[in-house]
Amino acid sequence: MNTHRTEATPIGVYLLVENRLVRESFMRLFRKRAGLAVVGQSQSCAAAIEELADKACDVLLLSSVEMLGMIAESEAEAGPAAGPTPLLFGMEESPESFLRAIELGACGYLLNDASSSEVVAAIRAVASGEAVCPPKLCKRLFEHMSRKASPQAEKVQRGPAQAGLTCRQRQLMQLVAKGMTNKEIATNLKVSQFTVKNHLSRIMAQWRAESRHQAVDVIRAGGFSLQA
């Protein structure tokens, strides 16, 4: 975030959006809003990472959790310097995606029915140090943090069917723990995405987890290694 911005300085927004029409629509919209300035735009994470290193930017408006993951990985490699505040838009009401976005540093998560006025309001809010998210997903965040604070409460009573993970399941969950998508996991394990989804569904049911990332936490809390 641009720590030198004052009340009189426009909020610098960088658009990392895959859809060109959406990018251009946002640029036209922000030009009409006082106090907002588009400092750059791209559909490519690689280009955005390079440009953001040289720009004073307050808010990174982006259209996918996968993109945020690449940005977060780049920032982790570059060091502790503060970057722009990530704000996601056009999202599904998915607790799994929402929690992943929070883990990656997002301070805003707007659903795909958000209006242009709501996007502008969210930009102003996160630039002021606030967080923005749908109420239902906010409740899931509280529940997630409560479980994380009390890992013992997440341990399940394991019967024979829950005694551990198969070798393939450990391989899959190890890749989940690294933040890989279903497509990336399928490519890595040389299986179909359908097979990956089936494995994840069974593992989440087995460990009573609401998301793949919660399953990682629960499995580790239960004392099981994810090493294959």
How far is residue 172's CA from residue 55's CA, in Å, rounded to a whole number?
38
For the chain, how many structural domains are there in total? Answer: 2
What pLDDT is stored for residue 131 in this prediction? 93
What does pTM read for this prediction? 0.62
What pLDDT is stored for residue 148 in this prediction? 65
How far is residue 14's CA from residue 58's CA, in Å, rounded to a whole number?
8
What pLDDT is stored for residue 203 in this prediction? 87
CATH code where residue 188 lies:
1.10.10.10
Domain containing 158 equals 151-221
How far is residue 31's CA from residue 195's CA, in Å, rounded to a whole number?
46
What pLDDT is stored for residue 132 in this prediction? 94
Instruction: Write the pLDDT tens digit of every residue in 46-63.
Output: 889 888 888 889 999 999
Domain final position from 118, 143, 168: 143
Residue 158: closest CA among 219, 109, 89: 219
Domain final position from 88, 123, 143: 143
Residue type, 124: R
What pLDDT is stored for residue 161 in this prediction? 37
What pLDDT is stored for residue 168 in this prediction? 83
What pLDDT is stored for residue 82 in this prediction? 63
Stretch 29-48: mean pLDDT: 92
Placement of tokens 């009340």 in the chain: 7
What pLDDT is stored for residue 53 in this prediction? 81
CATH code where residue 123 lies:
3.40.50.2300
What pLDDT is stored for residue 62 in this prediction? 95
What pLDDT is stored for residue 153 in this prediction? 46
* Contact between 120 and 33 (Cβ < 8 Å): yes
Residue type, 209: A
Instruction: Write the pLDDT tens digit of every residue in 133-178.
Output: 998 888 888 877 776 665 544 444 443 334 467 788 888 898 998 8
Same domain for 74 and 166, yes or no, is no
Instruction: Write the pLDDT tens digit of every residue in 98-138.
Output: 888 888 889 999 999 999 999 999 999 999 999 999 988 88
Residue 23 lies in a domain: yes
What pLDDT is stored for residue 219 in this prediction? 82
Placement of tokens 């976005």 in the chain: 101
Same domain for 132 and 201, yes or no, is no
Domain final position from 113, 143, 173: 143
Checking if the pLDDT of 94 tops 90, the result is no
Same domain for 96 and 202, yes or no, is no
Same domain for 133 and 155, yes or no, is no
Same domain for 136 and 26, yes or no, is yes
Which of the four pLDDT bands, split at 50, 70 and 90, describes residue 195? confident
Same domain for 213 and 102, yes or no, is no
Residue 6: closest CA among 67, 53, 56, 64: 56
HEC states along the chain? CCCCCCCCCCEEEEEECCCHHHHHHHHHHHHCCCCEEEEEEECCHHHHHHHHCCCCCCEEEECCHHHHHHHHHHHHHHCCCCCCEEEEEEECCCHHHHHHHHHCCCCEEEECCCCHHHHHHHHHHHHCCCCECCHHHHHHHHHHHHHHHCHHHHCCCCCHHHCCCCHHHHHHHHHHHCCCCHHHHHHHHCCCHHHHHHHHHHHHHHCCCCCHHHHHHHHHHCCCCCCC
